[in-house]
Amino acid sequence: MDDDPAVRSAIAFALETEGFEVATYASAEAALAWAPLSGDACMILDHRLPGMDGLTLLRDLRARGIATPAILITTNPDARLRGLVAQAGAALLEKPLFGNALAATIRSLSAPASSSAP
Instruction: Summarize pLDDT for 72-107 with one digit per residue, the tens.
Output: 999 999 999 999 999 999 999 998 888 889 999 999
CA 102 to chain centre: 9
Q: What is the pTM of this model?
A: 0.86
CA–CA gap between residue 101 and residue 79 (Å, rounded): 21
| Nearest-angstrom CA–CA distance, 9 and 15 | 10
Q: What b/e string do you get for 44-58 counting C-beta neighbours within 10 Å, with b at 16 or more?
A: bbbbebeeebbbebb
Rounded mean pLDDT of 51-64? 89
Q: What are the φ and ψ backbone dihedral angles of 92, each rounded to 5 degrees?
A: -125, 130
Q: Is the pLDDT of residue 35 over 70?
A: no
